[in-house]
Amino acid sequence: MDIARELVPQERRKPLFDDPLKLPFGRNFTDHMFTMEFTPGSGWCRPRIRPYGPLQIEPSANVLHYSQEVFEGQKAYKSPRGEILMFRPQENARRLNRSLSRMCMPEIPEDSVLEAECALLKVEERWVPAQKGASLYVRPTVIGTEAALGIKPSSEYLFFIILSPVGPYFKEGFNPVGLWVSDTYSRAGSGGTGEAKTGGNYAGSLLATLEATQKGYSQVLWLDAGEHRYVEEVGAMNIFFVIDGKLVTPALGGTILKGITRKSVLELAPELGIQCEERRIAIDEVVEGIASGRVSEIFGAGTAAVISPVGKIGYRGKDYTIDGGRTGPWARKLFDTLTGIQYGELEDRHGWIYVVK
């Protein structure tokens, strides 16, 4: 892919990196972005790296009226040797294409996605924080841009990638967070777009998330849309439970995002000494298990936070505290192992690390 480059003549001042761990999530952006267009006659064309700035689209653009949009979330890390590392970016490229297919949008060759990300990261290398716990967040996005009203797939699209230096996702850092169980609102229903990474899924979750934060919780723990009985996922993460010494997570079924950190936990955990199971998990089993001690740990898993221990769950007006609100040993072990691999400190025996060259 021949990528044109339009670089800013004088780089903007980068955020102060005196304490990268205090960088807010998704508030600062690098000097440049990648863009590529899709037209019916040319397919994906005109790839370029240009200064970060506003997009010019028509007020009648498809994305503004019918939300034909998908995105991805991944991170770049700085190794002790100064290399830029990415964690399983091929999986992100595959998931991007699955989301595109579900939203009736043209797929992008995986190699082209990786090439675009690497080209942009090399231009913006100085923005990758060197301190463990901070990283450069990578946000590939595709939107429908055809200037026409009418409910149909767009014929034109824009693919862009922006970068943001970030610290920990949760203000608590790697400390237990609280989850509020919503048995009124629903995130995704059977046959919907729950497993696609599309903006509409998140827009529909905002009201419940606002209610959760007003009640003093960090995120919403979603139940199934049909019965409001079975656990599905957290607002920004997949969810795991240690039940009777076994690591259990809800089974995928079209309504749950196929998380890459989730996939990595399931592949890594047996090697660390804990058996895994994917199945339906009733919220009643969870709260009764917390009360009896059968549920000894709960944690979320996702790109933004990697592993986020859960200290309490609020359900129907009552808080259920897990193991005194402490971080559990499996959350700690998985967090240390995954971040050790991501930052190039531990041996990558799975071939998960991609070195940007």
80 and 24 belong to one structural domain: yes
Q: Is the pLDDT score of 207 beyond 90?
A: yes
For residue 291, the number of C-alpha atoms closer than 13 Å in the C-beta half-sphere is 10
Q: Can you list the pairs that 287-292 forms with residues at least 24 positions away whose Cβ atoms lie under 8 Å?
A: 287/313, 287/315, 287/320, 289/241, 289/243, 290/320, 290/321, 290/322, 291/320
Tell me the per-residue pLDDT of 117-130, one tens digit each, with 9 for 90 and over. 999 999 999 999 99
Q: Is 268 left (phi over 0), alpha (psi -120 to 50) or beta?
A: alpha
3 state SS of 296: strand
Residue 348 counted as domain residue: no
Cα separation, 325 vs 73, in Å, equals: 29
Q: Is the pLDDT score of 143 beyond 80?
A: yes
Q: pTM, whole model, 2 decimals?
A: 0.95
pLDDT at res. 12: 67
Q: Which residue has the tokens 């899924």?
A: 201
pLDDT at res. 171: 72
pLDDT at res. 9: 80
pLDDT at res. 42: 97
Residue 51 counted as domain residue: yes
Tell me the per-residue pLDDT of 155-164, one tens digit each, with 9 for 90 and over. 999 999 999 9
Q: In a 10 Å sphere around its CB, with 0-12 CB exposed, 13-18 middle and 19+ buried, how is residue 37 labelled? A: middle
Span 283-311, average pLDDT:
97
Residue 263's CATH number:
3.20.10.10
Number of domains in the chain: 2
Q: Is the pLDDT score of 3 beyond 70?
A: yes
- Which residue, 166, 195, 219, sits at the end of a domain? 166
191 and 117 belong to one structural domain: no
130 and 231 belong to one structural domain: no
284 and 196 belong to one structural domain: yes
Tell me the per-residue pLDDT of 218-252, one tens digit each, with 9 for 90 and over. 999 999 999 999 999 998 899 999 999 999 999 99
Q: Which domain holds residue 94?
A: 4-166
Residue of 51, 67, 203 lying closest to 141 (CA atoms): 67
The radius of gyration of the chain's CA atoms, rounded to the nearest angstrom, is 21
123 and 38 belong to one structural domain: yes
- Which residue, 128, 144, 166, sits at the end of a domain? 166
Tokens standing for 338? 């995954």
Kindly indicate the confidence band of residue 19, based on its pLDDT and cuts at 50, 70 and 90.
confident
pLDDT at res. 245: 97
Q: Is-contact 198 237, C-beta < 8 A?
A: no
Residue 119 counted as domain residue: yes
Kindly indicate the confidence band of residue 91, based on its pLDDT and cuts at 50, 70 and 90.
very high
Q: What are phi and psi of 338, to 5 degrees?
A: -65, -45
Q: Is the pLDDT score of 177 beyond 90?
A: yes
- Which residue, 166, 200, 231, sits at the end of a domain? 166
Residue 147's CATH number:
3.30.470.10
Q: Is the pLDDT score of 173 beyond 90?
A: no
Cα separation, 92 vs 201, in Å, equals: 18
Cα separation, 172 vs 243, in Å, equals: 25
Q: Which residue has the higher pLDDT, 174 or 172?
A: 174
